[in-house]
Structure 1
Amino acid sequence: MASTAAIIGSTGLVGNFILLTTLSLDAFKTVYTISRRAPKPESPKLAATVEADTGKWSSNLSSIAPPPSVVFSALGTTRAAAGGIANQWKIDHEVNIELAEAARAAGVETFVFVSSGGTRGFGTGSLPYSKMKVGVEDSIKTLAFDQAIILRPGMILGHREVPHQGGPLLTGLVRSLSRFGQGWQDKFGQEAEVIGRAAVHAATLAAEGKAPSKYWILEQADIVRLGRDEWKA
């Protein structure tokens, strides 16, 4: 049976690939997006809401009736783009938690969050970025969705409309590791398209009752497996 999806962060690097993937699959009959600007892809299945005020996104999500079967959040920004750590915290932490709470209250069955790898590693727990991601992950777990899926990619590889400071250099460095074998690159970074596909693949497996647990964490190797090695268009 076809399901419905809502995507937050659909104009970002990973979110755009989640959107493209869901629009391409018959498994999704309607795809909703909530974003500050209109997404680039066009489709009869797409129902896009453009709202500049991120503080209203949770109510936008709550107003979707009936509620979507799955909500994907690939929402995230950088300190530089946000204009400081406080503004980044509001987007990466507060808005994501508000969205998860709104989704749970609306009866959404599955919530998928694109987090980040290494945020629970030794020496990273006190970093503001780690606190943002860990806080969202822990809140989603507490909300006890029928199915929660957390992706923890490494460096996200792909072309950004607004490059991160030092991003192109680091992307080139990580991609160069593939000369020693694809596995070397996979240990440090994953292509945005692979991450987006892994998010959708995991959600479809969950809908089929094939998720290994109600709180399913996809580390980098899992992302590569679902989004590339086992991916079937």
Structure 2
Amino acid sequence: MAETQESAPVVAADSNEAKPSEATQNTAAAAPAEAAKEDTATGGATPEAPKKPVNQALVEAMEKFRALGQKAYVLGATGEVGKELVKELCKAKVFSKVILIGRREIKYEDDLYKEIDLEQKIVNFDELESKHEEDFKGCDVAFCCLGTTKGKAGVEGFKKVDHDYVVNSAKLAKAGGCKHFNLVTSQGSNKNSYFLYPKTKGLAEEHVQELSFQRVSIYRPGLLLCDREEKRFFESVFHKLAKPLEYFMPTAGTAPTVSVAKAMINNSVTPNDKAVEILTNKDIRILAGDVNPRK
């Protein structure tokens, strides 16, 4: 239950060591422009789509960060955002070691997951502070993608996962030496809300901030877009409604899960003096390279 990411409604939508710039470009590349077709009447062939432009500043930031040899752990690696995050971490290779903390072991068969030092630690989230303090020691950066739904876990179960598990994990992370805590919540999170979902997310944000990490990054994506294994009727309806929104206004209220994952990595390797930063859906899409910052 604990590692399923539901920070917003989710809808369907080399084994050889890579050179620093190659690994970086997997995550740093910006969104491509549409391929223009030549007029077939002139007999011209259709050209290939332009290559994705590379954010050179981000490339350099990744290379500098990689040289630090920092370690990270991921909470919620089986959720939709968490799965994409682990995949992108394997591509980017910016951490010397990545530890997945969850309630069950994940079987990885693709060679991609063999390209980094990837370790898994199995924990009982109801007994974190009494039994798993050691599992949270020795990492510099934490990525928290924990979450569930009221429909799946009930009201109390939802509050336990989306607040208690998140905050308790953050406490152990802080005690274990973590400097930068990255937390995925949701657009509209508000501790003063009358509604369960945004209120719980908002309280989790507040209580994590109170732990005084050197840096806390809170990501508030809108409607998450992905090819979800667990299909839900209302989410499929939202998906149909979101398609034109995603096409015409990508920063307005939708975010592919892979974009959230890339934004988290790109933001983590970029120096920032702010102790707390709250990143909106638009911020996430810009960080992921999906849109031009001026849009």
Which bracket does the TM-score occupy, shorter chain normalised?
0.7 to 0.9
After TM superposition, the runs of 4+ consecutive aligned structure 1 residues lying more than 6 A away are none
**Larger relative contact order (CA 8 Å, sep ≥ 6):** 2
| Residues 32 and 59 (structure 1), Cα distance of their counterparts in 2 relative to 1, 3 Å cut | farther
Task: Write the distance in 1 (CA, Å) between the matches of 2:175 and 2:209.
Answer: 14
Does the 8 Å contact 1:68/1:108 carry over to 2?
Answer: yes
- In 1, Cα distance between equivalents of 2:143 and 2:202: 17
Distance in 2 separating the partners of 1:65 and 1:133: 22
In percent, how many aligned pairs have the same letter?
25
Deviation of 1:31 (Å): 0.5
AA partner of residue 213 (structure 1): K
Instruction: Give the AA of the match of 1:37.
Output: R
Distance 1:192 1:139 in 2: 25
Which residue of the partner structure matches residue 92 of structure 1? 162
DSSP-derived class of the 1:156 partner: strand
1:162 alignment partner, one of 210, 226, 230: 230
Q: Residue 171 and residue 19 in structure 1: after superposition, are their counterparts in 2 closer, same or farther (change >3 A)?
A: same
Matches of 1:47 and 1:60, distance apart in 2: 19
Larger radius of gyration: 2
- Aligned match of 2:179 in 79, 85, 109? 109
Q: 1:9 to 1:65 in 2, by over 3 A?
A: closer
Give the Cα–Cα distance (whole angstroms) in 2 for the partners of residues 61 and 215 of structure 1. 27
How many residue pairs end up in the alignment? 220
Question: What runs of 5+ residues in structure 1 fail to find an aligned partner?
Answer: none
Distance 1:135 1:16 in 2: 25
What is the CA–CA distance in structure 1 between the aligned matches of 2:263 and 2:132, rounded to whole Å? 23
1:80 aligns to 2:151 (yes or no): yes
Q: Which runs of 5 or more residues in structure 2 are unaligned?
A: 1-67
Residues 7, 15 of structure 1: 8 Å contact kept? yes
Equivalent in 221, 224, 232 of residue 282 of structure 2:
221
Alpha-carbon displacement from aligned partner over 1:58-80 (angstroms, at most 9, x marks no partner)? 56763147521101100001111
Name the CA distance, whole Å, in 1 between partners of 2:95 and 2:220: 24
CA deviation map 1:99-120 (0-9, x unaligned): 1111111111010000101123
> Cα RMSD between the aligned structures?
2.2
TM-score normalized with structure 1 length: 0.86
Task: Give 1:13's aligned residue.
Answer: 80
CA contact (8 A) 1:61 1:99 kept: no
TM-score for the superposition, normalised by structure 2: 0.69
CA contact (8 A) 2:70 2:139 kept: yes
Richer in helix (by share): 1
